[in-house]
Amino acid sequence: MPDKVEAIAELVVLLPMFMKTLLEDSSIKTTAGLNASEKKTLMCICKDEGVTMSEYSKRLGLARGSFTAVADSLEKKGLVKRVSGSDDRRKCALILTKKGKRVAREIDTQFKQHIAASLARLSEADLNNLRQALETITATIEKLNKRGNC
């Protein structure tokens, strides 16, 4: 078992390089003029709206202070709103404004087009293998998150 776990750990380390390769030369431009951190944050909020700021900062791998600066910037640009949590007024959740939803859709469309163009170089068999691997990773993430929430 330790050998299997170590092999998996070595492969997990490669995931950021996979993402970098996939997104290389990605020039997603928005009408809102967002930087890379703002785009990632907006997409994270779009995928799971209403989560606390501390949870978003964890998901994005940003320190709380850095994430707060990004959230402040998105709020100033009219893309997100802070709402207080129902159980704890000190915790703020983020939701997209109408403009934020429009910009998030714009980013998502460009992102998917870029990924599709990148993946077009792969064979059908490679695409099927990649899909299965990503579905497995997604299912594993969900299982790991459920264990952490118990």
Strands 80-84 and 92-96: antiparallel
Using alpha carbons only, give the angle 23, 101, 135 rounded to the nearest 5 degrees.
45
Q: Do 78 and 100 meet the contact criterion of CB atoms below 8 Å apart?
A: yes
Reported pTM: 0.73
State the pLDDT at residue 104.
93
Determine the straight-line distance between the first and last CA of the chain, rounded to whole angstroms.
25
Could you give the CA distance from residue 60 to residue 38 in angstroms, rounded to a whole number? 11
Q: In the chain, what are the helix, strand and coil shares in percent, each to the nearest 5? A: 70, 5, 25
What are the pLDDT tens digits along the chain (150 aa)? 668 888 888 888 888 788 777 766 567 777 778 888 898 899 999 998 988 888 888 888 889 889 999 999 999 999 999 998 666 656 788 999 999 999 999 988 988 888 888 899 999 999 999 999 999 998 988 888 776 554
